Amino acid sequence: MAANEQHHTLQPPEFDVPTRVLIVVSPYYKSIADQLITGAKAACEAARAMYDVVEVPGALEVPTAISLAAKSGQYDGFVALGCVIRGETTHYDTVCNDSSRGLTLLGLDGVCIGNGILTVENREQAEVRAEASGQNKGGGAAEAALHLIALARRFGGGPRSSAFAPDSEHILMAGQTSKDSA
């Protein structure tokens, strides 16, 4: 059973320049969404990242909202939150697959997204996963987004840097020695 498994989690990144995150949530199951938001906000605050929260009608609209906001250039990363509980029809499969696919495609285009859209069989499973003082999937999604932001800054070479930046101002290229860079 997964509950008995030991899991390794990475230390949250710390940023030395302002970091801005947009939390996009579908409050369809409001009490579950509220717990996810609580966890995501706490993770952002712990990393000293600023955040905004916007709501969309359902999980299918989360990727579109993130795409629109990403084009604005106002945010370094995004947290996708919501909950899809299996019902009596195949609509569950469509919502789970298409929202996940949309987020994955955005991620492959370089958008830093932590996916905290729960896909569960029943409300009890959702409550356990959403609880900010429990499994805290909202916080985990925010930390995933923050890690991706740190990696984007590290690999992007832009003006922003993170805690993962080299200790030195001098970066050696392959085949170059420290004498060559002086």
Residue 115: helix, strand or coil by DSSP? strand
Say whether 91 is catalytic: yes
Sheet with 50-55, side-by-side order of all strands: 50-55, 20-25, 77-85, 113-120
Sign of CA dihedral 88, 64, 67, 101: positive
Residue 87 CB contacts under 8 Å (≥ 6 apart), including other chains: none
Sort 68 into a burial class: Cβ within 10 Å, 0-12 / 13-18 / 19+.
exposed
From the candidates 7, 8, 91, 147, which is the catalytic residue? Answer: 91
Q: Where are the alpha helices (DSSP H) in 1-136?
A: 30-46, 62-72, 91-108, 123-130
Residue 97: helix, strand or coil by DSSP? helix
H or E element at residue 101: helix 91-108
Strands 113-120 vs 50-55: parallel, antiparallel or unpaired: unpaired
Active site members:
91
